[in-house]
């Protein structure tokens, strides 16, 4: 049995966010939140932070008049710190078409994007979604393979009337996988040749997996296996968690979670699509539960949750759950309308609330601020310079990660050789 953890949610955002649904981390940089059809970058992710920078405002391009439409996804290129490229997923102004576009940060100003830098993907994008306003998907994440993954909804209404989920010739009800580093002529992406329906194989080249209903939020487990965990929102009976693999069919609209879709199969008997894959877990709409918000596998170093548990929530009840080896345990019951989760560079998990909150999951009481100690703190260097190494120690439950020394160390040196001293940058997360 999983040990039940005492947890609290620590409110981080004192600034007002309008209906946030995204939390993403830029490598070596601050976290970013989507709010309305804008992206903001807090000056620092600290409890009570009150200053923000408007990173990007694409309100004029986005159709967000309906409950499920808007700026829905954001992903930073794995080499963002070098190339400044990032990607957004939104329903476009004219007809709600599912749009993926690239933007660039402003050269020289890491906290402001260039709003005129939009590059549309072309080819099969935007995806036609004019018939209904719901089930737009919207999550985007870069995978361990460097490809951009995007989740699309089934096109809306209820019970997927056109059967888009099972139709491998449309991009609705899918997990897509795109190569954004290899344009295809005027088309701003290409499909990896390893996608299951690539080239002459029947089916759309962009598809990675299918049979989804509305894979609202998904994430990769950074714990070594990089498994893709998808929270696929159900219809009227079951919310499900899938581990999605190349070419997998996750059953919708025939299956809803573990069962035959009651709308089409009121008897409870059906023939699942050949080779279709059941979720690793599903739950019913009992006790007011209504819609899964997929989260992250916890891989932080602060023991906020047991290592390797999948953390997710139900939107209606505010319950945050942990799932491990098929055992589902309530972590904390909140009053939040949880729209999304986020993960920082150290693996800590954040909770995004529709009413404008960003919380960090933490133990109760929260641990003391982390201390980071460098040893040695100074060293003599010859005039020609040389290499050296340092040891960084932390208090027990504090993780750290650094991809560039400028993030965590201050190095004072004397031209011409002599003593140099090292100071660790302030780090309190």
CB of 353 to Ca ion, least distance (A): 27
Cis peptide before 181 (omega within 30 of 0): no
- Binding Ca ion (rule: CB under 5 A), the pick from 55, 103, 149, 197 is 197
Binding window for Ca ion (CB under 5 A); candidates: 19-27, 110-118, 200-208, 300-308: 200-208
CB of 240 to Ca ion, least distance (A): 5
Query: Which parts of 238-277 interact with Ca ion (CB under 5 A)?
Result: 250-251
Nearer Cβ to Ca ion (96/251):
251
Residue 341, CA distances (Å) to 165, 187, 191 in order: 25, 32, 28
Nearer Cβ to Ca ion (249/304):
249
DSSP 134-191: S-----EEE-TTSPEEEE----SSSS-TT-GGG-TTSSSSEEEEEBTTS-BTTBS-B-
* 173 touches Ca ion by CB under 5 A: no
CB of 99 to Ca ion, least distance (A): 22
Query: Which parts of 35-54 interact with Ca ion (CB under 5 A)?
Result: none
Nearer Cβ to Ca ion (197/321):
197
Cis peptide before 253 (omega within 30 of 0): yes
CB of 233 to Ca ion, least distance (A): 10
Nearer Cβ to Ca ion (5/249):
249
Helix or strand holding residue 10 (H, E):
strand 7-11
- Residue given tokens 């309190």 in the structure block: 428
- The pair of structure tokens assigned to 298 is 């916890």
CB of 356 to Ca ion, least distance (A): 32
Binding window for Ca ion (CB under 5 A); candidates: 58-66, 96-104, 196-204, 386-394: 196-204
9 burial type by CB count under 10 A (0-12 exposed, 13-18 middle, 19+ buried): buried
Count of residues touching Ca ion (by CB under 5 A) = 5
C-alpha 282/C-alpha 290 separation (Å) is 12
Residue 252, CB-side half-sphere exposure with 13 Å CA sphere: 37
Nearer Cβ to Ca ion (244/361):
244
CB of 254 to Ca ion, least distance (A): 9
Chain residues that interact with Ca ion, rule: CB under 5 A: 197, 201, 205, 250-251
């Amino acid at each position: 049995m999983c040990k039940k953890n005492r947890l609290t949610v620590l409110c981080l955002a004192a600034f007002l966010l309008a209906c946030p649904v995204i939390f993403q981390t830029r490598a070596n940089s601050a976290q970013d939140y989507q709010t309305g059809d804008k992206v903001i970058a807090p000056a620092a992710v600290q409890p009570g932070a009150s200053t923000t920078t408007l990173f990007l405002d694409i309100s004029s391009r986005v159709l967000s008049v309906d409950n499920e439409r808007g700026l829905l996804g954001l992903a930073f290129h794995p080499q963002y710190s070098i190339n400044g490229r990032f990607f957004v997923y939104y329903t476009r102004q004219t007809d709600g078409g599912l749009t993926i576009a690239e933007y660039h940060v402003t050269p020289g100003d890491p906290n402001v994007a260039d709003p005129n830098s939009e590059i549309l993907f072309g080819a099969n994008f935007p995806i036609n979604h004019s018939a209904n306003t719901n089930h737009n998907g919207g999550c985007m994440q870069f995978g361990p393979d460097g490809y951009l993954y995007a989740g699309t909804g089934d096109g809306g209404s209820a019970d997927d009337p056109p059967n888009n989920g099972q139709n491998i010739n449309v991009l609705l009800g899918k997990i897509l996988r795109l190569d954004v580093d290899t344009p295809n002529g005027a088309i701003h992406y290409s499909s990896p040749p390893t996608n299951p329906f690539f080239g002459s194989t029947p089916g759309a080249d962009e598809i990675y997996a299918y049979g989804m209903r509305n894979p609202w939020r998904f994430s990769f487990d950074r714990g070594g296996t990089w498994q893709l965990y998808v929270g696929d929102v159900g219809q009227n009976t079951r919310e499900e968690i899938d581990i999605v693999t190349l070419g997998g069919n996750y059953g919708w609209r025939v299956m809803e979670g573990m069962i035959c879709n009651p709308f089409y199969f009121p008897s409870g008997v059906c023939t699942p699509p050949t080779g279709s894959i059941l979720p690793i877990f599903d739950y019913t709409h009992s006790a007011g539960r209504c819609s899964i918000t997929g989260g992250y596998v916890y891989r932080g170093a602060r023991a906020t949750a047991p290592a390797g548990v999948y953390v997710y929530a139900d939107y209606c009840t505010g319950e945050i759950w942990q799932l491990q080896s098929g055992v589902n345990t309530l972590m904390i019951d909140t009053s939040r309308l949880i729209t999304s989760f986020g993960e920082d560079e150290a693996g800590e998990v954040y909770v995004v609330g529709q009413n404008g909150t960003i919380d960090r999951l933490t133990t109760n009481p929260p641990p003391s601020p982390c201390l980071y100690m460098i040893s040695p703190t100074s060293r003599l260097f010859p005039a020609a310079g040389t290499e050296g190494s340092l040891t960084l120690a932390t208090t027990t439950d504090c993780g750290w990660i650094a991809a560039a020394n400028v993030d965590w160390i201050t190095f004072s040196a004397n031209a011409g050789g002599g003593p140099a001293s090292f100071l660790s940058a302030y780090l309190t997360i």
